[in-house]
Amino acid sequence: MTTPSKPVEPKTGVRHAKAGPRETGQRIDNYLLRELPGVPKSHVYRLLRSGQVRVNGGRVKPERKLAEGDEVRIPPVRMAEKGETVRPPDEVLNRLRAAVIHEDEHYLALDKPAGYASHGGSGLAYGVIEAIRAWEKYEFVELCHRLDRDTSGVLLLAKSRAALLRAQKAFKEGTTEKRYFALVVGRWKGEDRDVDAALVKAQLDNGERYTEVDDEDGKPSHSRFSPQARYRDATLCEVQIFSGRTHQIRVHALALGHPVAGDRKYGDRGFDKAIRDKGLKRMFLHSHFLKLAADGAFSKLLLSAAMPDELRDVLARLPGVR
């Protein structure tokens, strides 16, 4: 799916940029990721941590939001020159056009196929957001949230700064309704089970990133698992998440002792090897429903995406409970 990115050339000299109306309310980390195409995300955060990026002369944290007129100091970095950004293949652009499930004056929503990252970085030349910008159809388009590369389903993008802030506020305050389908390993005992386990991001010595439960230093996280179908060695659950932490469903499922099928980071290797014979070539996690409540000038938004045939076919091959 991806193509090798073009070589990047060193760009010399410090650059100073002023935030305009379009950047008002945007986090400095997201601003830099847009301004520095081709620069790995990890390097952007390193620049922020080291104080090389400054706003109005002062050091800033990644979550700092810009205001119109703020002066941003951008240090010299290796990056792709404008016009040299990797253009996704037409096949990818057309696949994502066909994945559109909703569009209005404020939002664009896709039924994101598995295998497509939400954004480029970490060795990926592009993701969904870069591909949609390559349509050259929108003056403004930004991700409202993210899905893991191997997760399919509803992905929402905003077509204006106001729409983006509305969605981000809803996600932050937990007023959205987000539901997923997940096939988890093992027989489920009982009915609905809630998980309130704080999560924190961590990193191994080799640089691999992961999320783990940490009730002392983690951020509050809440998921509800509801069994929908029971099989001999697995259970299909609908999962509602009341927060939006990285890898939340996957880590909460692991904490319950029922990791998500096909999860190469947190899963059960023995089970995953066996279920590959049933046709599961990816993680069995699909975002099937998203609701945003009405807010001021924005009306209620309801989005849904049916479970892909590739996942339905796997379920059809699973032996039932004896």
Residues labelled as active-site residues: 148
Between strands 285-292 and 152-158, the pairing is parallel
CA pair distance 97, 116, nearest whole angstrom:
13
Q: How far apart are CA 12 and CA 219, in angstroms?
A: 39
Contacts of 33 (CB under 8 A, 6+ apart): 39, 41, 44, 119, 121
Say which residue the tokens 């009405």 belong to.
Answer: 294
Q: What is the token pair recorded at 90?
A: 């037409």
Residue type, 53: V
Q: Quick one: which H or E segment has residue 241?
A: strand 234-241
For residue 183, give the nearest of 242, 117, 250, 247 by alpha carbon: 250
Distance CA 32, CA 119 (A): 14
